[in-house]
Structure 1
Amino acid sequence: MAEDGRSRRPRRIILIRHGESEGNVDSKKYCDIADPRIRLTEAGAQQAKQCGEKIQDMIRKESINDEWLVYFYVSPYNRTLCTLKEIGRAFENEKKHIIGVREEPRIREQDFGNFQEMHKITAVKKERQRFGRFFYRFPEGESAADVFDRVTSFLESLWRDIDMNRLNTSGTKQQEVNLVIVSHGVTMRVFLMRWFKWTVEQFENLRNPKNCEIRVMQQGEGGEYSLLVHHTREELEEWGLNDDMIKDQERRKYGKRERWINDECVDHWPWSGFQFFDTYKETVCTNKELEQREEEKMTKDEECYFMVNGNGHDIELDNSETPLDVGSTHPVE
């Protein structure tokens, strides 16, 4: 990166999940409406407008001398584009601060296949539960691992834009830049996984963001991005981050990550070097033990796969957002 690359970095990278969609309310919509064309509900539009007001207020209050800029990236799906339109209403009197909007297909929703068939819903989701959410590839669709690959490509392009100072169009004057990315639940979790180098196991324990819920990555004292600058530890725990992941966010907030172990420079990954072996050995098993654990896990999944709510409808215990979610706007806790 250029010598002054750190000063060019956005102060914040704000991830936003779209507002409530018709598919969140009625999963049958996916049977005859293409996923990219699913629209927002009226409630979803209101969520997006309130989210925009919240973001604008946060940026404006924490800026110095009102010198702040916003650059938007948005998924090309109908529900994300409409979400951004409603978010933009909060900036109608601050248009001079908006320096760009870019539609970015690489941050689109995970592809779950084409039109959904209701009679296949239970079988597909049950199979994914047993296979694992990250690596399971939907028929005619994608796995979260596929989303990881395209998010990686997007991040490479993003850093080139930052390095070339393409996100600051104010000439020689350096102003605070904020990136706002309007996307989808799975994509947001994969983005954070890729950025913070979380493991597959850690990804699969994350809770999906609710509609118009945000994740703010903000520069800490050492110039590194952390979720703990804006958010609280309690929020991170609610999202599914474990103690190691939260400690990593604390290090990023208060200082440079290079000085973690006895003031010696180590790799940025928290489990680098012999730490990896100390951590991973707890899960090492013989083939027989692995088979036994897998059998126990499958039995537990069978028992816990469905729960019945007060209306007598089956609701799957699943943390991820998919068009196959039955009758809920966000995952069942």
Structure 2
Amino acid sequence: MTASRGDTVHPCPAEVVAVRHGQSAANVAFAEAEATGRDVDLAGRDADVELSPAGRAQSAALGGWLAALPPARFPHVTYCSPYLRARQTWDLAAEHAAAAGRPACPTRVDERLRDREMGHLELLTPATIARRFPEEARRRERLGDFYHRPPGGESLADVAARLRTFLADLDRVEPGRRVLLITHDAVVLMLRYVTEQLDEAELTELMLAGSVRNAAVNRWEATTGRLRLAEFNATGHLP
């Protein structure tokens, strides 16, 4: 975990790699909805959204990337979001890595790696929110994404709070070890917010630069007791 300036250096994982899940059916549906102006055509919970065919191919490619890692870089343990698209990403990646002779490392599911919960706004595009819930859209614009908490959902600040406890647990349970996380774009961004000690303006600038890509590798290395970003949005392993 990142220490604040002046804090005592303490043990932390040697390396943390966070991978956003492969492309999901919701990612496809949102792109289509934004292009056509129609609503997202998905039923059920966000937690149960599956991978798209392209997402399955990305997950297989992630398995190839894992299989090609030298022993000194292969993760000791994987922590996975409970959401279906993340679990499918890891299952496919682990399967392809095992087929290449690299058996999967131990896996733990941790709910703190779940995507940002959008509550009543779940699976709705910004255009749909503006049309159906104009007051909520104005409140979001006024507060900004970092502090806006949708009814029944979470703000990005809430996501950061749960990630601080997760990183503290990694410090305690996985010191000196290599850790792989299978998670979501909001979580990857908030990992950068926490480990780099960003402020709201810096986070907003990062978000405006573009989203975290599906199945992209984002890597932090331990330096003097702190996790420091070494690689961001790396997709050279993808088809």
- 1:94 counterpart = 2:102: yes
- Please name the residue that 1:166 is paired with: none
- Please name the residue that 1:145 is paired with: 157
Please state whether the residue corresponding to 2:76 is helix, strand or coil. strand
- Please name the residue that 1:82 is paired with: 88
Greater mean deviation of Cα atoms: 115-124 or 84-93? 115-124
- Please name the residue that 2:229 is paired with: 227
| Structure 1: gaps (5+ residues) | 164-175, 237-333
- Please name the residue that 1:136 is paired with: 148
Please state whether the residue corresponding to 1:227 is helix, strand or coil. strand
Change (3 A) 1:30 1:184: farther
Q: What does 1:1-333 correspond to in 2, within 5 Å? A: 6=11, 9-27=12-30, 28=39, 32-57=43-68, 59-60=69-70, 63=72, 68-92=74-98, 93-95=101-103, 98=105, 100-114=106-120, 116=123, 120-122=128-130, 123=134, 124=136, 127-163=139-175, 177-206=177-206, 207-220=210-223, 222=224, 224-228=226-230, 230=231
| 1:82 maps to amino acid | Q
Deviations 1:273-330 (A, max 9, x none): xxxxxxxxxxxxxxxxxxxxxxxxxxxxxxxxxxxxxxxxxxxxxxxxxxxxxxxxxx
Contact 1:22/1:29, CA 8 A, preserved across alignment: no
Q: Percent identity?
A: 22
Deviations 1:189-241 (A, max 9, x none): 11221122111211121132011112111235x5643223x56xxx79xxxxx
TM-fit CA distance, 1:11? 3.0
TM-fit CA distance, 1:70? 2.5
Change (3 A) 1:54 1:201: same
Please state whether the residue corresponding to 1:203 is helix, strand or coil. helix
| 2:169 maps to amino acid | S
Change (3 A) 1:125 1:219: same
Deviations 1:88-140 (A, max 9, x none): 12320222x62x10000011010011455677423455642342110011122
Structure number with larger C-alpha Rg:
1
- Please name the residue that 2:36 is paired with: none
C-alpha separation between the residues in 1 aligned to 2:111 and 2:152? 18
Alpha-carbon RMSD across the aligned residues, in angstroms, is: 2.7
TM-fit CA distance, 1:21? 0.5
After TM superposition, the score normalised by the length of structure 1 is: 0.55
Please state whether the residue corresponding to 2:203 is helix, strand or coil. helix
| 2:70 maps to amino acid | R
| Structure 2: gaps (5+ residues) | 1-9, 31-38, 235-239
Aligned residue pair count: 206
